[in-house]
Chains A and B, each alone.
Chain A
Amino acid sequence: MVASRPTLESAAMSTVEIQNVTKIYPGQRAQDASLLALDDVTFGIGEREFCSILGHSGCGKTTLLNLLAGFERPTAGKITVNGTMVGAPSWTRTMMFQDYALFPWLTVENNIAFGLEQKNVPPGQRDAIVKSQIALVGLGGFENRYPHQLSGGMKQRVSIARALCVEPEVLLMDEPFAALDAQNRSQMQIEMGRLLASSEGTSRGTMVLVTHSIEEAILLSDRIVVLSSRPGRVKQIVPVNLPRPRDEDWPEFIALRRELRDLIATEYRPALEQ
């Protein structure tokens, strides 16, 4: 299969450019060794592309996401979005968290509206956007609930709506479905897939998903960046040229899953020895 999406060679056209990024965490005390979390990571993510970063826990994939969001700075190298260096966090790069990170004191409605308020969207328009987002993620009737009154799956729906409604250039997702139970997880993955299929041609931005689930990565991605463990290096970039919505029973899906599993398996032992 030939990748129709931008690859390393055509990276100059990408929305997100990650160039020779290295991240070192200094040891807590003087005698502690410093930790090389990411080592010379370079790849680009195209406009409107859905890119997954796949790897074992501790491979630095969340670190990479934090660098993309601007929560942390790379030790070396640079990250640009649409040609601009990533600086402080901004609504152009919103994040979905594994633990949802909903504001417990705000209702579903107000959680979703939070980013719009920060963006100074006028109240009338804000309400309309919130309403359509609530409908989109299927939370009608729960507008005035507080997060502690929602199930995990519903919380993550609020989180999706909150992150998407400000229309970010890049949506960053940090293992968004990992905390859900199996049924809810696959349900959310399917819905996310449908959301992506239905948004072809609309104004959605670039999506970056960090995951350790091979199935999730195949189900949703245009391209999968496989990271090696400790230090995190780009091991391989695997394009997924399958129509959406995808099905886990397709032979191509199964073949790709095997390929990725083999790629990841060789990484498992060193991670265990750490």
Chain B
Amino acid sequence: MSALGTPPLRVSLPPPPGIGWRVAHRVRSLLLPLLVLATWQFVSARVLNETTRILLPPPSVVAATAWDLIVSGELVHQLSASLRREFVAFLWALMAIPLGVAMGWWKAFNEQVDPLVEILRPIPPLAWIPLSILWFGVGDLQNEFIILLGIFFPILLNTMGGVRVVDPNLVRAARCLGSSEWTVLSRVVVLAALPQIVTGIRIGLGVGWMALVAAELVGANSGLGFMINDARTILRTDIVIVGMITIGLVGLALDSIVRLMMAALMPWSRLAQR
């Protein structure tokens, strides 16, 4: 609403907000978080005593610890271990896309596979942790397996759903323009379902990230989940909190990255512009 040129008529548009107004607006939207932070600082530093303060260190201490962990490379080390597992599991979970397309497209195939999926799907990834530790031991493979379970089903279900609701006229249009069955599937059905496939990926990465931390709590020697559990045993609650905040921020960042990629890869999708 800035440069409109010189209008022939004086229209009483509200003046564009100045920089001061925008800063004020931003500060105002941060009011509640800042208040919570201040209360936390006050309670921890003034109300709690030496002993109980260990359970809830003030934000100032958490910030200092975060800085130390960043400078020492510890945080980056643990974070990259976690991210690598998420990424490896994600690559495996991409198998859900062809499977989901096949299940959505061929009824006969779906009849066979669907009962199996319906039995496995409601089992939370975390319920697999004990068995997976026995199968894969403690370490990357076990963690990746748990994350895979978290990512796999959201992608599978969304792909299936997306393929099933493809506009039948798009398929007909392709067929009467001379497309073979394979072309219809690869160049029409998959693309038409793509927005929903990507939605599945977004949900899956989120679920996988949550499952990852749980898997690392019990079955890993590195990673953010391991870091906060390890810090708990030596009562370093400041490290625990830094780990928790990192997990939250990285989860948010993952989702934003997928969203940005969506917008870049699918300029035609209205879903991507949301």
Residues from chain B with a CB closer than 8 A to the CB of A172 are: 176
Q: Knowing A104-B268, A105-B266, A147-B268 touch, does A115 contact B177 (C-beta < 8 A)? A: yes
C-alpha spacing A155/B134, complex, angstroms:
59
| Interface residue B91 (Cβ < 8 Å from any Cβ of A) | no
Chain A interface size range: 20 to 34
Name A's interface SS.
loop
Stretch at the interface among B12-20, B26-34, B99-107, B166-174: B166-174
Expressed in whole angstroms, the minimum distance between the Cβ of B57 and any Cβ of chain A is 51
C-alpha spacing A166/B188, complex, angstroms:
18
| Interface residue A99 (Cβ < 8 Å from any Cβ of B) | yes
Would you call B268 and A94 a contact (CB within 8 A)?
Answer: no
Name B's interface SS.
helix
Residues from chain A with a CB closer than 8 A to the CB of B191 are: 103, 105
What string of 1s and 0s marks CB contacts (under 8 Å) between A95-107 and chain B? 1010101111110
Residues from chain A with a CB closer than 8 A to the CB of B270 are: 148
| Interface residue A10 (Cβ < 8 Å from any Cβ of B) | no
Expressed in whole angstroms, the minimum distance between the Cβ of A38 and any Cβ of chain B is 19
Expressed in whole angstroms, the minimum distance between the Cβ of A199 and any Cβ of chain B is 20
Residues from chain B with a CB closer than 8 A to the CB of A261 are: none
| Interface residue A194 (Cβ < 8 Å from any Cβ of B) | no
Residues from chain B with a CB closer than 8 A to the CB of A148 are: 268, 270
Would you call A118 and B269 a contact (CB within 8 A)?
Answer: no
Within 8 A of B (CB), among A167-193: 172
Expressed in whole angstroms, the minimum distance between the Cβ of B127 and any Cβ of chain A is 39
C-alpha spacing A99/B168, complex, angstroms:
11
Would you call A91 and B178 a contact (CB within 8 A)?
Answer: yes
Would you call A91 and B172 a contact (CB within 8 A)?
Answer: no
Would you call B268 and A162 a contact (CB within 8 A)?
Answer: no
Within 8 A of B (CB), among A125-176: 146-148, 162-163, 166, 172
* B167 to chain A: closest residue by CB: A101
Complex partner residue of A119 from B167, B178, B188, CB under 8 angstroms: B178
Would you call B178 and A115 a contact (CB within 8 A)?
Answer: yes
A residues touching B (Cβ–Cβ < 8 Å)? 69-71, 88-91, 93-95, 97, 99, 101-106, 114-115, 118-119, 146-148, 162-163, 166, 172
B residues touching A (Cβ–Cβ < 8 Å)? 167, 169-170, 172-179, 183, 188, 191-192, 194, 266-270
- Given A90-B178, A99-B169, 19 more A-B residue pairs with CB atoms under 8 Å apart are A69-B176, A89-B172, A91-B176, A91-B178, A93-B176, A94-B176, A95-B176, A97-B172, A103-B191, A104-B192, A104-B268, A105-B191, A105-B192, A106-B268, A114-B177, A115-B177, A118-B177, A146-B267, A148-B268
